[in-house]
Homo-oligomer: A and B are copies of this chain.
């Protein structure tokens, strides 16, 4: 599953408000991810039905990406995971510190 990919969650965040975004618009909040990697991520998400790719026949070309219902349904478990991370991050940090201390 590409759900576990490095960029899938961040693309989801970029599109969760329902507004379609263009390829270049997506690159900005993603720290200027290279075109190749963004393309791979978007293609995989389109393939799995998480987003829809719309090509507008204009000049210059315009391509927009928007979440599908399936993609939107991912937001809930994603939020749950983020909430868990925020809540428990201090404990993890503490555990790591304790581990390092025990190692020395």
Contact = CB atoms under 8 A, between A and B. Distances in A.
A92 B96 CA distance: 37
Interface stretch (A17-25, A28-36, A73-81): A73-81
A49 B95 contact: yes
* Oligomer: number of copies: 2
Interface in A70-93: 70, 73-74, 76-77, 80-81, 83-84, 88, 91-92
A84 B95 CA distance: 30
Given A76-B84, A81-B81, A94 B4 contact: no
Contacts of A92: 48-49, 70
18 contacts: A4-B4, A46-B99, A47-B96, A47-B99, A49-B94, A49-B95, A49-B96, A49-B98, A70-B88, A70-B92, A73-B84, A74-B84, A76-B80, A77-B80, A77-B84, A80-B80, A80-B81, A81-B81
